[in-house]
Amino acid sequence: MKYDSEIKNVIKDYIDFEFDINEIDNNVALTDYGVDSLKYISIILALEDYFKIEIPDNYLVFSKSNTIKKLNSIIEELL
């Protein structure tokens, strides 16, 4: 995945993970790392700022299927 390291660095302040950020599994739901709907919106805004993109509203839906892999796919599609 092209942007997984950058995504992990952006979201590290929003997740409950006490280990090396690179140990985060790209396929694990963000909810498993303590991300709720408010944190998810904050992550989306932080990613928009970092990558200088606007993520369409249809990607703002919070669900248990949200993973770093999914965020990476969205960003790859927009860049």
Full set of structural domains in the chain with CATH: 4-78 (1.10.1200.10)
Q: What is the pLDDT of residue 64?
A: 77
Find the mean pLDDT for residues 66-79. 93
Which pTM does this prediction carry? 0.87
In order of 2, 20, 23, 39, 53, the CA distances from 62 in angstroms are 23, 25, 23, 10, 19
Residue found by looking up tokens 């909810």 in the block? 31
Residue that wins the pLDDT comparison between 6 and 14: 6
Q: What is the pLDDT of residue 75?
A: 95
Q: What is the pLDDT of residue 19?
A: 72
Helices (H), the chain: 4-11, 37-51, 68-78
pLDDT in tens, 19-67: 788 888 999 999 998 899 999 999 999 999 999 999 998 888 888 779 9
Amino acid at 22: N
**Rounded Cα distance, 51 and 31, in Å:** 23
